[in-house]
Homo-oligomer: A and B are copies of this chain.
């Protein structure tokens, strides 16, 4: 058997790599609705992420209601005020100039949650590292993000929120963790570079600097 027999055609590989390299964190949306079939496809893509012990610990809250979104937006405004105060000088000015969410403008918000109690107390593979349920949920979120990109949809992950307040706003039970609050809709454009790279907030690190061999800190590969 040829080792490469399972690899995709060049064009299909390009489809995956385009989704990975052209995915952006989107904060500016057109008002156009998301068709039901497109929404169903990206949610099903998320649902087909791998999960520890086949636990599928995720739920998806599709939020269209304006009142609910108003509450979450107020939550963002409070959290963002606190976060902005962490910076000073030029960084503070730049921070204040950035648009960091599109909660009210986009047609739908999606909250992806993790239910640590799913499948009961003993989940195969989760005994040593209980946080693997949340890790699995994040893999589902990345599937959602990439599928959205292929469908021409933008997603923006709003991480500036008080989680306890969010749970009240979305009536989420005590034992459920909201992992991601996402803005979803068609963007006017996808930026060539991530926004924070474009405005000079931070630079892309060379991937080579992030690679070690065999043990931490070892930069040279040995035979």
Contacts and interface: CB of A to CB of B under 8 A. Distances in A.
Interface of A: 1, 3-9, 11-21, 23-25, 30, 32, 41, 43-45, 47-50, 52-56, 58-65, 68, 79, 82-83, 86-87, 95, 98, 100, 113, 119, 122, 124-129, 131-132, 134-135, 138-139, 141-143, 145-147, 150-152, 157, 159-163, 170-173, 176, 179-180, 186-190, 194, 196-197, 201-202, 204-205, 207, 210-217, 221-222
Chain copies in the assembled complex: 2
Contacts of A138: 134-135, 138-139, 142
B64 A48 contact: no
Given A50-B25, A52-B159, A159-B132, A61 B15 contact: no
Contacts of A217: 171
Given A17-B45, A142-B142, A145-B50, A127 B86 contact: yes
Contacts of A59: 210-212, 216
Contacts of A11: 11-12, 15
A160 B18 contact: no
Nearest to A62: B213
Nearest to A210: B59
